[in-house]
Amino acid sequence: MNKIYGYSRVSTSKQLSDSQIALLNRAGCDETFVEVQSGANRKRPKLEKLLGKLREGDTILVVKLDRLSRSLQDLLSISREIEEKGAHLRSLQDPLIDTTSPNGKLIFGIFAVIAEYERDIIRVRTLDGLAAARARGQHLGRQEALNQEQKDKLIKLRCSGQSLREIAQTFGVSKTTIQCYVRLADVP
C-alpha cells in the first residue's frame, strides 16, 4: 500500500510547526517527520530517515517547497532521489509541484534548467571577477607565509649554512615551507 509521508522543517522548535503538522495531517499523511534545524544544512536526520523509508508509489508531502530545502540545487537533488525510488513529491501551497503528474514533472524540469543556468552565470561571473582582480594586480589565493624581506633573510641564513629546521623555527613556519622557498630561490 502506498503511503503519504509528511515532512516539516522548522528553524526553531515552535516556529510554524504546529500549523504545518495540522495541514499535513488534514491532507492525510500516514506519518509526519518534523525536522528542527536550518534548511541550509543538508544534514537533516529526519529527512534522511524519511528518504530511507520511501518505497515505489509513496509520496512526500510538504506544506511549501522551502520547508524541504532553501536551495534549488538541493531541492532538485532531493527530488531526483525521490524519483529514483519511484516515489513522488507534492506541495500543498505550491500545487504545480506534484511529480505524480506530467505537468508537475515538467515544472521540475524547468527548475532544473534554471538551476543549471544559474550555476553557469555564477561560474562566468566568478571567472570575470578573478580576471579583473588579476588585471588590477591583486594577489589571488592563499596569503604567503613570509613577506619578501623574510624570504631574503631566510635565503641568507640558508647560504650561511643554517639548517632548514633552524630556519623554520626562526620564522615560526614548517620545514616544508622553508624547503619550498629555498627550492624556488634555487639555493642548495
Residues designated as active site = 11
- Cα–Cα distance, 168 to 103 (Å, whole number): 65
Phi, psi (rounded to 5 degrees) for 170: -60, -40
Bridge-partner residues for 35, per DSSP?
Answer: 9
On whether the CB atoms of residues 29 and 61 are closer than 8 A, the answer is yes
Q: Is 41 exposed, middle or buried (0-12, 13-18, 19+ CB in 10 A)?
A: exposed
Q: Within 13 Å, how many C-alpha atoms sit on residue 119's CB side?
A: 10
